[in-house]
Chains A and B, each alone.
Chain A
Amino acid sequence: MLERFSVRAEDQVLVDHEALRRTVADLFVACGVSDDDATAGADVLVTADLRGVETHGVSNMLRQYIGWFRDGVHKPSPEWTIVHETRGTATIDGDRGLGILQGGPAMQLTIEKARDVGVGTVTMRNSGHLGPIGHFAYQAAEQGMVGMCMTASSLLIVPTFGALPRYGTNPIAFAAPARSQPFMLFDAAMSTVASNKIGLARRVGADMEPGWIAEPDGTPVMEERPAPSGSFSLLPLGGTREQGSHKGYGLGLLVEVMTTLLAGAVPRMVERDTKPRHSFIAYNVAAFTDLDQFKDTMDQMLQTLTETPPAPGHERVLYPGLPEHETEMQRRANGIPLHREVIDWFSGITSELSVAPLVTL
């Protein structure tokens, strides 16, 4: 994450990951979620915060999840149904459950299919926000597979040359295991910047870069300026056509096809009132090649990347998953920094739902 997005030291309150896990699970249970699901959901969110993925941890989305459960937008204990199934695939109707609670079991089904026929693909419609989707890709990597996860929800991005948003940030997550190196873990929106980053920039008072959002008429904003207070549309990865925004746009559509369309649903740009759709893919490494050799080759590749001579002004070359791993080590030991505003929200909501308050360090 860019430095400007980090919570400033004077605004930080540190919490232990175990304490955070407990409070998040308690809050879910207070909303009617089963103990097991609540624990799994807390693990998804807290792991995101441990890995430094603040945008998708407890700070931005948890308050919405709770609001949705309390308003009946999502069911705390849904009963999903398998609409279509083959040996390698399944299409699931999520029964208006919340994605972060349904993603774990959906990826596990995918992994089992990959164990059977080499590759598995599960799509899900009528579900809720999936949160940090890298978590589910990583779940496959921990079981000797290459994992991929995608989701499509809100309408935020203008297509290249367009003046109206037509699809969501449509992130792609990808994870692959290694032997001694931290696993590769890529998870990114197909917009220049994740929409939660704009909320985060507003909260920490950071400027936006050129190519992040569009003017209301669709023209890319190409200067550095503060985040807008009102509504806005994001630009596809690339920003402008000359710098490749048609690629970000095409990748966003790839995700729309692999999630919404393959889940038997209609894109939100066509019918507004719809729930998020997801796609889970697992490639069983052992079906393609020797797993040990694969992991050794991953190690060699990841080491080659980190040993790449850096360009002037940079300390080192990273790979996706490496900084997240380093942050996790550090935060497991020293605690997770949350913004005071988030702590205030926790105080309010735990007392409102009669749950033990969040213990801070």
Chain B
Amino acid sequence: MLERFHVPREQEVRVTDAALRQTITDLFVACGVPTEDAATGAEVLTMTDLRGVETHGVSNMLRAYVDWFRGGQLNPNPKQSIVKETPGTATIDGDRGLGVIQGTAAMQMAIDKARDVGVGVVTMRNSGHLGAVGHFSMQAAQQDMVGICLTAMSVLVLPTFGAVPRLGTNPISIAAPANSEPFLLYDAATSTIAGNKIALARRVRADMEPGWIADPDGTPIMEERPVPEGIMYGLGAYNLLPLGGTREQGSHKGYGLGLMVEVLTTLLAGGIPSMVEEKPPLASHHFAAYNIAAFDDVEHFKDSMDRMLQTLAETPPAPGHERVIYPGLPEAESEVDRRANGIPLHREVIDWFNRTTDELGVSRLETM
């Protein structure tokens, strides 16, 4: 993450991962989620904060999850059903459950199928926000598979040359295991920047870079400036730009990748894209597992991964940079640090926890 997005030192309060896990579980249970599901969802969110992925941990989205459960938009105790199934695939109707809670079982199903026929793909419609999709890819990598996870939700991103948003941030994640090196773990929106980064930039008062968002008429904003005060997302509002920013710098590729995610999630799940029919806060997901043993010797694969990741980390850096990193390396370093020293949360987030735990009659989040 860019330095500007970090919680300023004077604003941070540290909590242990165990304390955070406990409070999230309690909050979910208070919303009507069964205990086991609540613990599963808490693990996803806590791991996300441990890995330093603040945008998708407890700070931005947990309050929305709680509101959606309490407001009835999401079902705390869904009865999901398998709509279609083959040896390598399944399509699931999520019955308006929360993706963060449903993702683990869905990826496990993809993994089991991959163990059977070499590759497994599970799509899910009618489910809520999936959180940091890389978590589920990592779940496959931990079982000697290559994992891919995608999700599509509400419309926030303009197509290249367009003035009205048509796609979600439609993230792509992949994870692959290695022997001695931290696993490869890539997880990123197909917009220049994740939607949650805009909220984060507002909170920590950071500037935006050129090519992140467009003016309400669709023209890419190509100078550095604070996040505008006006309305974000929708007709006549500020919207996100696809990865690349402008056509000359490749935004048609970000746009194409976003559409690819839309097809692999919404369309393959038998759903209707949000650009055609919005159903907030519902999303569609895609979980894929490639069983390494079906393609190659697992040890050989992991050794090759080690050699590749070492080569990347040993690449001579360009002037002004300390080192070359690969996706998953800073996240692994952050996890080691935060397991030992706690997770830094913004004071504002702690205030929200205190208000909400009090309101729901749950014990307060223990700080360090």
Contacts and interface: CB of A to CB of B under 8 A. Distances in A.
Interface of A: 2, 84, 86-89, 91, 114, 116-121, 123, 146, 158-164, 166, 172, 174, 176, 184, 186, 188-190, 192-193, 209-211, 214, 217-219, 237-239, 241-244, 246-251, 253-254, 256-258, 260-267, 269-270, 283-285, 287-290, 293-294, 297-298, 300-301, 304-305, 308-314, 316-320
B159 A308 contact: yes
A86 B217 contact: no
Nearest to B305: A261
A88 B117 contact: yes
Contacts of A298: 263, 267
B122 to A, nearest CB: 10
Closest A-B pairs by Cβ, 8 of them:
A311-B218, A218-B318, A118-B89, A89-B118, A289-B270, A118-B86, A86-B118, A264-B296
A162 B317 contact: yes
Given A309-B163, A310-B163, A320-B252, A88 B119 contact: yes
B160 A318 contact: yes
B262 to A, nearest CB: 7
Contacts of B292: 262
Contacts, number: 319
18 contacts: A86-B291, A89-B117, A146-B264, A161-B321, A163-B315, A174-B256, A174-B263, A184-B263, A209-B248, A238-B249, A241-B2, A264-B296, A267-B307, A283-B121, A287-B89, A301-B262, A312-B218, A314-B161
Nearest to A289: B270
B295 A161 contact: no
A18 to B, nearest CB: 31
A317 B319 CA distance: 39
A283 B161 CA distance: 30
Contact of A158 (B117, B275, B318): B318
A182 to B, nearest CB: 14
A238 B2 CA distance: 15
B281 interface: no
B162 A311 contact: yes
B310 to A, nearest CB: 9
Interface stretch (B25-33, B322-330, B334-342, B355-363): B322-330
Nearest to B1: A246
A117 B114 CA distance: 11
Contacts of B275: 301, 304-305
B52 interface: no
A156 to B, nearest CB: 14
Nearest to B146: A257
B247 interface: yes
Given A246-B327, A262-B290, A89 B295 contact: yes
Contacts of B158: 311
Interface string B170-192: 00101010000000101011101
Contact of B247 (A2, A86, A118): A2
Contacts of B209: 242-243
B162 A118 contact: no
B37 to A, nearest CB: 25
Interface in B50-93: 83-84, 86-89, 91
Given A161-B325, A237-B253, A294 B270 contact: yes
A273 to B, nearest CB: 15
Nearest to A210: B249
A114 to B, nearest CB: 8
B343 interface: no
A239 B254 CA distance: 13
Interface string B230-268: 000000000000011101111011111101101110011
A308 B77 CA distance: 38
A287 B162 CA distance: 34
B296 A159 contact: no
B263 A121 contact: no
A311 B308 contact: no
Nearest to A301: B273
Contacts of A184: 259, 263
Contact of B218 (A166, A288, A310): A310
Nearest to A310: B161
Nearest to B273: A301
A121 B312 contact: no
Contact of A188 (B87, B164, B253): B253
B311 interface: yes
Contact of A288 (B89, B172, B312): B89
B65 to A, nearest CB: 26
Contacts of B174: 250, 253-254, 257-258
Nearest to A249: B327
B240 to A, nearest CB: 11
Contact of A159 (B2, B163, B295, B326): B326
Contacts of B321: 161
Contacts of B156: none
B270 A288 contact: yes
A267 B89 contact: no
B119 A120 contact: yes
B294 A84 contact: yes
B186 A253 contact: yes
Contact of B315 (A159, A246, A247, A266): A159
A243 B262 CA distance: 23
B214 A117 contact: no
A92 to B, nearest CB: 10
Contacts of B263: 146, 174, 176, 184, 298
A87 B243 contact: no
Given A146-B267, A284-B89, A304-B273, 17 more contacts: A86-B118, A87-B87, A118-B87, A121-B119, A186-B257, A237-B243, A238-B243, A244-B192, A248-B243, A256-B308, A257-B174, A289-B91, A289-B270, A308-B166, A309-B163, A310-B163, A318-B160
